[in-house]
């Protein structure tokens, strides 16, 4: 697997976390890969062969070749049919809402074709340009021109949402909701309504995902000696709380995470962040 990330230009750095590419040679014996929630929304272009997204153990859909992957609150499975070649844009949790009028909550746990979110002709032109670009630099130039144009048409970033998300990220998801409300002089109902529209998750849900990210990175980097230390470092109440959240978002327990071939792709993403 070849996974690379690229930084956005300064004009988009407040909403775009990075651009990334993934290349995997065709393998007829490729296994399902379990994708773990990470709190972000991504726009992806499939440049290689089709990819299956499983809706149950045996049923699947073919992912759109130009799509937006909304927030997820549970793991899901994908499986490439052949060669993998993907170009994608990873937005900050509040970032993608600035480019569309659709509520972000309507994108949760699914792939939405690009032409359902933007003008059909505009979306098709973008997909065609990305597919026919000769390299990643050209694709980044194309998508940045598109995003800058869309940003000028849409609403600006909600400062309360963006600053609250930044606090959640900086605290690795451990900052208490009451502390967030007090700091940003906001009511719980008001903040949750804004998060639902612009992030797709409640502040509490996003905090759980971000805290899990911190724990996963400790496991992958081997920076912690045992589960108790990971739970303590990641600000979980206790080890049982940590294991419960871990299983909810990954579908496995911490001890089996690194040896699970179904999680190789998710591990690669986390290890490279």
Q: Could you state, in order of their start, the residue ranges of all structural domains in the chain?
A: 2-153
CATH code matching the domain that covers 2-153, chosen among 2.30.30.40, 2.60.120.10, 2.60.40.10, 3.90.110.10 = 2.60.120.10
For residue 250, what are the contacts with CB-CB under 8 A and spacing of at least 6? 34, 36, 75, 212, 216, 257, 263, 266
Q: 106, 104, 107, 85: which is closest to 95 by C-alpha?
A: 104
Tokens of 223: 């920076």
- State residue 71's pLDDT score: 94
How confident is the prediction for the chain on average, in pLDDT?
90
CA distances from 108 to 25, 29, 200, 201, 204 (A): 30, 30, 7, 9, 16
Residue 225 has pLDDT above 80, yes or no: no
Q: In the structure, what pLDDT confidence band is assigned to residue 272 with cuts at 50, 70 and 90?
A: low
pLDDT in tens, 27-74: 877 889 999 999 999 999 999 999 999 999 899 999 999 999 999 988
Q: What is this structure's pTM?
A: 0.90
């Amino acid at each position: 697997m070849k996974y690379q990330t690229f930084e956005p230009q300064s004009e988009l750095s407040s909403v775009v976390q990075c651009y990334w590419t993934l290349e995997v040679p065709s393998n007829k014996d490729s296994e399902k890969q379990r994708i773990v929630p990470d709190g972000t929304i991504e726009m992806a272009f499939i440049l290689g062969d089709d990819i299956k997204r499983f809706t149950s153990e045996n049923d699947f859909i073919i992912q759109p070749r130009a799509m937006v992957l909304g927030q997820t609150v549970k793991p899901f499975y994908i499986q490439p049919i052949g060669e993998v070649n993907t170009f994608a844009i990873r937005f900050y949790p509040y970032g993608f809402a600035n480019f569309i009028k659709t509520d972000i909550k309507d994108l949760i746990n699914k792939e939405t074709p690009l032409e359902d979110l933007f003008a059909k002709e505009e979306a098709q032109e973008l997909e065609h340009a990305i597919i026919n670009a000769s390299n990643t630099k050209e694709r980044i130039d194309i998508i940045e021109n598109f995003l800058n144009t869309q940003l000028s048409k849409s609403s600006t970033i909600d400062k309360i949402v963006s600053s609250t998300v930044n606090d959640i990220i900086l605290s690795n998801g451990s900052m208490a909701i009451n502390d967030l409300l007090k700091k940003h002089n906001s009511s719980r109902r008001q903040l949750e309504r804004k998060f639902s529209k612009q992030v797709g998750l409640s502040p509490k849900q996003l905090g759980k995902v971000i805290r899990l990210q911190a724990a996963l990175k400790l496991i992958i980097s081997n920076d912690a000696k045992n589960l108790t230390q990971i739970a303590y470092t990641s600000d979980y109440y206790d080890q049982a709380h940590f294991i419960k959240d871990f299983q909810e978002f990954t579908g496995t327990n911490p001890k089996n995470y690194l040896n699970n071939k179904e999680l190789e792709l998710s591990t690669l993403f986390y290890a490279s962040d």
